[in-house]
Structure 1
Amino acid sequence: MSARANILGKLRRSLEGTMPRPDEFNERLVTEPWWYAPEDRIARLRSLMEAVHTEVHPCSSGNWPALVADLLARRNLTNLLCAPGTDHGRELHQHVGATEQRVNLLAYDQPVEAWKEELFWNVDASLTGTLGAIAATGSLVLWPDRQEPRLMSLVPPVHIALLNASEIHDNLYDMMVAQNWAAGLPTNVLLVSGPSKTADIEQVLAYGAHGPRELIVLVLEDA
């Protein structure tokens, strides 16, 4: 018998005659202090996010592309990284083409090694979707994937995020249950509450040191 088999055998024999402990988990302990009336979720989320310099704009599913174009124009930004394979990416491409907006839409369609220099130094802003948001902490929830890799929300200096108001949950536990995360967790989840900031140097708060210096959230209220 190998050493490995011997060790595993001892572990199995040590459990003989024992019973598993009952599951005493009480979900109310992690949810009840953070329940909100449905009509209060947007206001709470917005209050917490704006307190850490996030810009929040209520809008509709019909006018958000025009709002994106306006936000870019106000900042004199000339390009935007977005995912053309997503519904919101296609919608934005259609709007830019139809209105002849002066913005160059970029796609993350190659390995990062092939365009790292451009991504880190020449991309003005990015647009991503979200899985939802958490009212208790004022956080967006992002699931990076092949269409929208993680660097889309971490590298460009301005990050614009689309959030359906119907996907704002009271707390993280309720969100995981409602969306059945147990059926298939992603390899990476991002909880984003505001733009990148640090006070490591002389205790002076600086934005954009480790990621976007601006976070803009568009809340689609009729979604």
Structure 2
Amino acid sequence: MSARDNILQRLRQAPQGPLPLPPDVWGHQAALTAAAGAGDRGERIRLFCEKMAFWHGEVVRASRSNWPKKLRDLCLAKGVRSLLHGERQAAALAGSGIAGLRAYDRPVEDWKAELFYDVDASLTSTRGGIAETGTLIIWPDASEPRLMSLVPPIHFALLDADQIHADLLAAISAQDWSGNLPTNALLVSGPSKTADIQVTLAYGAHGPKELIVLLLDEEELP
């Protein structure tokens, strides 16, 4: 009998104990959520802002009606001369007074040089946020390709405060990812960063140098 057969025989003859219980993923996650203090809406918003600041991201509170004005003020303050946007925000931006609006309306091959060298900032929507880590959930599609959040030096992102979830598992469950998962789901925490060089964390290395989240809430904010 070979060594392999001996091992298999011993395994088959080993006493059979009770099957182990499956891990209680939901219970474990609920305990983590409670410990983090991200159970209610206000705490989720507070924790998201705190974690986003930790990752060098900026959160600007706005209402659903005044965010184009907030964005215009930010563009003026940061010297943005051209702002790339998708089809979803075209109507809201039309009367905003923001200079240099550019719609993403062509295949990248048709304007690659312009996109990489002449666009100062971009505006994208988001699927939601994760309070536990201060992370944006972005699902790129044909109207808002991945390049919009990757190439321009400044990335503005619209985030609905009602879509901030305690953790990734809560987001996956609430948004039913299993039934409608995109080809590319992005999790973005702050501007681009790398620690490849001497294990020293550097920001803005291979993507946006700034990430500004426009946090949209029901409350009308000044």
* TM-score over 0.5 (shorter chain): yes
RMSD: 1.9
Partner of 1:34: 33
Deviations 1:89-143 (A, max 9, x none): 32012323xxxx4x11111111111211111111100000100000111100000
> For residues 180 and 198 of structure 1, what CA distance do their matches in structure 2 show?
31
The percentage of aligned residue pairs carrying the same residue is: 48
8 Å CA contact 1:31–1:171 kept in 2: the answer is: no
Determine whether 1:155 maps to 2:151: yes
Gaps of 5+ in 2: 1-18
Give the aligned residue type for 1:45: F
Deviations 1:44-97 (A, max 9, x none): 0001111121111111011110111111111111110001x21x332012323x
> For residues 79 and 206 of structure 1, what CA distance do their matches in structure 2 show?
26
Partner of 1:9: none
Partner of 2:93: 92
> For residues 203 and 65 of structure 2, what CA distance do their matches in structure 1 show?
32
> For residues 125 and 23 of structure 1, what CA distance do their matches in structure 2 show?
51
Give the aligned residue type for 1:59: A
- Cα distance, 1:200 vs. partner? 3.0
TM-score, with length taken from structure 1:
0.82
Other structure's SS at 1:46 match: helix
Aligned 1:136-147 pairs, distance under 5 A: 136-147=132-143
Alignment length (residue pairs):
196
> For residues 89 and 164 of structure 1, what CA distance do their matches in structure 2 show?
18
Partner of 2:22: 24
Other structure's SS at 1:141 match: strand
> For residues 158 and 150 of structure 2, what CA distance do their matches in structure 1 show?
15
Partner of 2:203: 207
Deviations 1:32-54 (A, max 9, x none): 30242222111100011111211
8 Å CA contact 1:61–1:222 kept in 2: the answer is: yes
8 Å CA contact 2:48–2:133 kept in 1: the answer is: yes
Partner of 1:80: 83
Partner of 1:114: 110
- Cα distance, 1:25 vs. partner? 4.5
Deviations 1:120-172 (A, max 9, x none): 11110000010000011110000001110011001100000000000000011
8 Å CA contact 1:79–1:124 kept in 2: the answer is: yes
